Amino acid sequence: MYKLLEHESEIGIEACGSTIEEAFSEASKGLFSVMAGIDKVQRMKSIHFECKSDKIDELLIECANKLVFIMSKDDMLFSDFEYKIITDDNDKEGKYTAECDAYGENIDFSRHTLHVEVKAVTYSGLKVWKDTDSEAKTRHCVRFIADI
């Protein structure tokens, strides 16, 4: 589940899931829902990428900005995301690695409704945390601000 947060000239995205991977996935869906009506985006193509960081919150920003770049470069929209996050204290490039498979298709102006362009995802308002839901289940949550 993701929700959009009102912010001045930017938009905030907050997402939660039962795992950190699910929270990253929901945040990515939220990010693309800001840019387009993702309900009409089909799983016709997939892209795979990796990001690394020493901090889990910075990993989220790296992944989100990579998605914004790929969308812009390849004229694609994505509606579904599968993340695998690996922790390795001995990796010199970064303690955390995110592997992402993003599913979507090329932009089709006859079918897709475009909203606003996200220029970048910023560190403003960045937060990654765990809490418990109403059923006392642990959930992982993330929040970031996108510059539009």
Give the chain's domain count: 1
Q: Is residue 2 part of a domain?
A: no
**Non-local CB neighbours of 77 within 8 Å, separated by 6+ positions:** 32, 35, 36, 38, 41, 71, 104, 105, 106, 107, 112
Q: Is residue 21 part of a domain?
A: yes
* Averaged pLDDT, 56-62: 97
Q: How confident is the model at residue 4 (pLDDT cuts 50, 70, 90)?
A: confident
* Averaged pLDDT, 33-49: 97
Q: Is residue 24 part of a domain?
A: yes
Q: Is residue 3 part of a domain?
A: no
Assign residue 135 the CATH number of its domain: 3.55.10.10
Tracing tokens 């939220």 back to the chain, one arrives at: 30
Domain of 109, in residue numbers = 11-147
Using CA atoms, how far apart are residues 81 and 115, in angstroms rounded to an integer? Answer: 20
pLDDT digits (tens, 9 = 90+) for 74-92: 999 999 999 999 998 887 7
pTM greater than the 0.75 cutoff: yes
